[in-house]
Amino acid sequence: MALEWEQVIVDAADPVALGRWWAEALGWVVVADAADEFEIRAAPDRLPGLLFVPVPEGKTVKNRLHLDFRPTDRSAEVARLLALGARHADVGQGEQPWVVLADPEGNEFCVLGERRG
């Protein structure tokens, strides 16, 4: 038996708006554009994707799962994401060599340090 990682589901108050934000943030393409299922991927035939679905309740606590990203230039990438609408987030991380941000609906993600070598 084999498993293929298809997608990560992201609960959202506005799946289309949040999905479009992530598509721009990641430079990904939209592969499903519906109010109840909005999916983006790095390329149309490349998995995994992010699938945004509507939920009635808002986010209230720290995510139990989050995404980490490793940029080529962390400072530039953090500035770009903040300009797109991300904000700094404090999840109790203290002083760390990464930056914790939240998307427009409050979902935390990390921007790690630059890859070495």
CA-to-CA separations, 11 to 58, 88, 99, in angstroms, rounded: 9, 20, 23
pLDDT in tens, the chain (117 residues): 799 999 999 999 999 999 999 999 999 999 999 999 999 999 999 999 999 999 999 888 888 899 999 999 999 999 999 999 999 998 777 777 889 999 999 999 999 988 776
Domains of the chain as residue ranges with CATH: 1-56 (3.30.720.120), 59-117 (3.10.180.10)
Predicted TM-score (pTM) of the model is: 0.91
Q: Are 23 and 9 in contact (CB under 8 A)?
A: no
* Rounded Cα distance, 42 and 26, in Å: 8
- Token pair of 72, please? 């080529």
> For 39-70, how does the pLDDT look when each residue is reduced to its tens digit (9 = 90+)?
999 999 999 999 999 999 988 888 889 999 99
